[in-house]
Amino acid sequence: MSEAVSALNGASFAGLARVEETGLGGMITLRGDFTSAGFQAAVKAATGCAVPELRKITIADRGAVAWMSPDELLLLVDYAEAEAVTASLAEDLAGEHHMAVNVSDARACFTVSGAAAREVIAKVAPVDLAPGQFAPGDFRRTRFAQVAAAFWLDEADVFHIVCFRSVAAYMFNLLSTAAHPQAQVGVYS
Amino acid sequence: MLILQCPYCGVTAEETELHAGGEAHLKRFGPGSSDDDFHDYLFMRENPRGIHLERWRHVSGCGKWFHAARCTQTLEVFGTYSAQTTEPPQQIKDAISAKRPGWSWRDVSG
Ligand SMILES: [Zn+2]
């Protein structure tokens, strides 16, 4: 099998905030009925996480689960495990109306961290990022300037961003421009 | 700037996160229908200055289609509601009636 590499080989930029492409991430799109006990058990078995509440992400040691829409979750697992986890989901959910697809290679992952991280995201997404309005564990699908993206904030105040791999370079340039050292607005400081 | 609350994910989304989907509650006339019905289904659309019922999609968000009741003249939003309905629910009709008594839209009224 060929050696998989991420879109930007871990490119990083340090400015108002630190922008980093975080390499390959395992990602599985899972659709189904959130209220089904079988569905909930399959999610738990795949990631160690419960089905998240509306617009939240649940994070455990083995993986994480994000709320994408009323019938869609994004499962985050180790890249090397994604194919096997997808297969076991299909087994666990056999007979139940669902869809599980390994989308890892269709995606790129970034982090934005540091004191001005909120401001950097707020410059490019139509989302209220005031500290009380967007908190650790919150998950949001939106657009970052001209491209679709999803992001969440972890307990260490690091923003994690997921977008399509085809727009990884755009995303990196966008975030780096927003984090340019001379581009401070100071709206949340 | 138009701001609509998506009834599926609860996000208060501004216009750039949404995609307009045209008039709401169209009834499809397909194979077997009369030429007049098919013509009206294809071409005849409301274009009111005032209350309008529309379809919108939370395209850069949860991806779901939903309905919105708003005023095209003032951009006032009366409410948003599920896509799984062929007419506006009573609370939407009430919300419009509270602001615009005597309103009507196609064959819908307060
Ligand atoms: Zn939505």
Per-residue pLDDT tens over the stretch A66-89: 999 999 999 999 999 999 999 999
CA distance A174 to A181: 14
Record: contact B61-A142, CB cut-off 8 A: yes
Domain with residue A134: its CATH number is: 3.30.1360.120
Per-residue pLDDT tens over the stretch B37-96: 999 999 999 999 999 999 999 999 999 999 999 999 999 999 999 999 999 999 999 999
- For residue B7, give the chain A residue with the closest CA: A70
Chain B residues in contact with A69 (beta carbon < 8 A): 8-9, 62-64
- Catalogue the E-assigned strands of chain B: 3-5, 12-14, 19-23, 51-57, 65-71, 77-81, 104-105, 108-109
Per-residue pLDDT tens over the stretch A105-163: 999 999 999 999 999 999 999 999 999 999 999 999 999 999 999 999 999 999 999 99
How far does B65 lie from chain A, in Å, by closest CA?
A: 11
Range of the domain at A45: 26-105
Interface test with B, best of A73, A143, A162 (most B CBs within 10 A): A143
A124 and A101 part of one domain? no
Q: Does residue A6 lie within any of the structural domains?
A: no
Q: Does residue A177 lie within any of the structural domains?
A: yes
Last residue of a domain, one of A50, A76, A105: A105
CA distance B59 to B37: 31
Kindly indicate the confidence band of residue A1, based on its pLDDT and cuts at 50, 70 and 90. low
Quick one: pLDDT at residue B79? Answer: 98
A91 and A156 part of one domain? no
Per-residue pLDDT tens over the stretch A30-67: 999 999 999 999 999 999 999 999 999 999 999 999 99
Last residue of a domain, one of A78, A105, A132: A105
Kindly indicate the confidence band of residue A2, based on its pLDDT and cuts at 50, 70 and 90. confident
CB B103 within 8 A of CB B84: no
Distance, CA B61 to ligand 1 centroid (Å)?
5
Q: Does residue A1 lie within any of the structural domains?
A: no
Whether the per-residue pLDDT at A168 is higher than 80: the answer is yes
Distance, CA B4 to ligand 1 centroid (Å)?
10
Write the residue in A69, A70, A143 that is nearest to B60 by C-beta: A143
- Largest interatomic CA distance in chain A: 57
Distance, CA B6 to ligand 1 centroid (Å)?
5
Whether the per-residue pLDDT at A98 is higher than 90: the answer is yes
CB A103 within 8 A of CB A27: yes
Single-letter code of the amino acid located at B34: S
Record: contact B11-A55, CB cut-off 8 A: yes
CB A66 within 8 A of CB A73: yes
Quick one: pLDDT at residue B3? Answer: 96
Does the interface ipTM go beyond 0.85?
yes
Q: Does residue A4 lie within any of the structural domains?
A: no
Quick one: pLDDT at residue B110? Answer: 87
Chain B residues in contact with A143 (beta carbon < 8 A): 16-17, 60
Lookup: tokens for B76: 């006032």
- For residue A128, give the chain B residue with the closest CA: B12
- Catalogue the E-assigned strands of B19-86: 19-23, 51-57, 65-71, 77-81
Whether the per-residue pLDDT at A189 is higher than 90: the answer is no
Q: Decide which of 3.10.580.10, 3.40.50.970, 3.30.2270.10, 3.40.50.300 is the CATH code for B3-103.
A: 3.30.2270.10
Number of residues written out for chain B: 110
SS3 content of chain A, % helix, strand, coil (to 5): 25, 30, 40
User: Measuring CA to CA, how many Å separate A166 from each of A101, A103, A171, A172?
Assistant: 18, 13, 10, 12
Q: Is B7 exposed, middle or buried (0-12, 13-18, 19+ CB in 10 A)?
A: middle
How far does A70 lie from chain B, in Å, by closest CA?
A: 7
Quick one: pLDDT at residue B1? Answer: 85
A61 and A86 part of one domain? yes
Domain count, chain A: 2
Q: Does residue A62 lie within any of the structural domains?
A: yes
